[in-house]
Chain A
Amino acid sequence: MKDYSLVELKNIANLIRQDIIRMTAHAGSGHPGGSLGMADIFTALYFKILKHNHELPHWTERDRVILSNGHICPVLYATLAERGYFSLHLLKKFRQINSPLQGHPHQHSLAGIENSSGPLGQGLSIACGLALGAKLNKQNYQVFALTSDGEHNEGQTWEAIMLANKYKLNNLINIVDVNGIQIDGYTKNIMPLGDLKAKYQSFGWQVLTCDGHNMKDIINTLTKAKTSNKPVAILAKTILGKGVSFMENNFDWHGKAPNQQEAEKALIELKKYV
């Protein structure tokens, strides 16, 4: 696998952000905010960290990515397309009839999508099951769960957090998208999460933090997480709508697509970074 430089990775993340804007604008719906916020982390995973091969998407030893908050699938689809799992042209089919790119991911619609998701709180449990299965099968793949801070409102997330500790799932890494925003507003108002780091630690996890927009920091943190003897939570501080000034930190853009004019404005901004 090609060894991408930090500059190259940043440029790829930018392309993914442009894809996200185009996809959601073309569909007229979808969730651009969280998708833009996770573009750097998805780039780091699929272009640097993961053991995978887009030409052999069902390779049994591949690392698994379980996206729990499925509404940010524009970033998953765009990353998979940029990585070569399927044609970039397919992104235009996002949320269209007869398309494998469903509004929320469907496990069997396209190679590269590991799980179905949509209702929040289910992904970490699935990731735990995959991590248990790896140990039982004596396989060395790692499981990367991607969850949001908002979905820590769901009790099931905490059921899974307990289980990961019980079974010492050191092959499980949960990347928490800490953008402080959920659909109705700021997490601190909707349902305060308190000290997430202390909570995870008291549940027996190792906790790492990173700046979710600093590529070097993301890569270093993910690399460190892979060698832990415990399940690892990476609390990644991100900005909803990152890269598009009028979307940043504005919860209106959690689940609203840009119109044509807004999309053009966003693309002009993003293209400046390259």
Chain B
Amino acid sequence: MFNKENKSTRDAYGEAIFALAKTNKNIVVVSADLAESTRVQKFAKKYPERFFEVGVAEQNMLGVAAGLSLSGKTVFASSFAVFSPGRNWDQLRVSICYSESNVKIVSTHAGLSVGEDGASHQALEDIAITRVLPNLLVISPLDYEETKKAVIAIAKIKNPVYLRLHRQTSPQITDSKTPFQIGKANILQAGKNLTLVGCGPILHEAIKAAENLKKQNISVEIINCHTIKPLDKNTILKSLQKTKKLITLEEHQIAGGLGSAILEQVVSSYSVPVKLIGVQDTFGESGKPSELWHKYKIDSQYIEQEILKIIKNPR
């Protein structure tokens, strides 16, 4: 399944936006001094008239993006997830969401996997602060190919979107033919004993855990819920009606993330034993991604252990 080389979601963004720009002349990119890191520099070089560098000024970046959208443009605003939506949430709320601006906030370097840069640069709250905003779609793609499809899909719609991406390379789980539809969760593998719903590259840890558990005759249904808002309640509910047990997984704080969205919108009306896996109300620190995932209990080892717990003792 994973014999291909690892690739990053930010690279997928850079390539997709570059390719899209050729046919879609309406696309413009705004950057806050992170064109290289967010991989939009290739776009910037080829289409300088459609690239706007605002400097280290994330608040202004979103205001300028809103203004460009008023002039009819489809705007991609790129920075790191800690800064955007972290630094410019008020601008996101009023200039973008309340105004229904055609702006895509594409932020890389989300999650613990930023690694050595440490806690100040590890966005673990961005899903929580974006999914509470009316009119905003929130998407966290699984891998390289899915990110490309997500970029193409969000360029076609007028809604404001938050697209959560990552710096580090990760396994390619999907391929160019895997379907992708905003708001439609994908079942990565079918199973009958437990449903695991997650988003982002961290889902690879769940796949590893599930692989191990096959030896014990445990089959896990893994759902890639790339769109956190709007949530695909039906796909999750159908799976829960079958397995009656739920684990959620995200490289994000448990509070306010995908797991809590599922509690609010699915488990609130269909009660099952549930365990939310994510960062437990703490900041991260410097370290290698795999070390951090282990220490902060979102790696395959922890997932496996929690699956076993919930299956053996559901209540």
Contacts and interface: CB of A to CB of B under 8 A. Distances in A.
A131 B29 CA distance: 15
A45 interface: no
A129 B69 contact: yes
A118 B90 CA distance: 10
Contacts of A127: 67
A156 B91 contact: yes
A117 B70 CA distance: 14
B93 to A, nearest CB: 8
A224 interface: no
A128 B67 contact: yes
Interface residues of B, number: 28
A163 B64 CA distance: 9
Nearest to B75: A129
A126 B72 contact: no
A84 interface: no
A129 B55 contact: no
Interface in A110-124: 114-119, 121-124
Contacts of B91: 122, 125, 156
Contact of B63 (A106, A107, A118, A129): A129
Contacts of B72: 133, 137
B129 interface: no
B94 A119 contact: yes
A131 B63 CA distance: 12
A132 B55 CA distance: 16
A155 interface: yes
A108 B100 contact: yes
B62 interface: yes
Contacts of A167: 52
Given A118-B94, A122-B63, A136 B50 contact: yes
A125 B94 contact: no
Interface string B4-43: 0000000000000000000000001000000000000000
B95 A122 contact: yes
| Best-buried of B63, B70, B95 by chain A (most CB within 10 Å) | B63
A240 B314 CA distance: 66
A160 interface: yes
Given A115-B99, A116-B98, A132 B63 contact: no
A162 B66 CA distance: 17
Contact of A156 (B52, B60, B66): B60
Contact of B90 (A119, A126, A159): A119
B66 A125 contact: yes
A64 to B, nearest CB: 8
Interface in A153-178: 155-156, 159-160, 162-163, 167
Contact of A162 (B55, B67, B69, B73): B55
A129 B94 contact: no
B264 interface: no
B5 to A, nearest CB: 38
B100 A126 contact: no
Nearest to A160: B60
Interface in B183-206: none
Contacts of A136: 28, 49-50, 68, 71, 73
A54 B91 CA distance: 29
A108 B94 CA distance: 12
A69 B282 CA distance: 38
B57 interface: yes
Contact of A130 (B28, B70, B94): B70
Interface in A122-153: 122-134, 136-137, 139
A7 B45 CA distance: 55
Contacts of B57: 156, 159, 162-163
B65 interface: yes
B172 interface: no
Given A125-B66, A130-B67, A133-B67, A159 B60 contact: yes
Given A133-B73, A163-B60, A125 B100 contact: no
Interface of B: 28, 49-50, 52, 54-55, 57, 59-60, 62-73, 90-91, 94-95, 98-100
Interface of A: 64, 66, 106-108, 114-119, 121-134, 136-137, 139, 155-156, 159-160, 162-163, 167
9 contacts: A119-B94, A125-B60, A126-B95, A129-B64, A129-B66, A156-B60, A159-B57, A162-B55, A167-B52
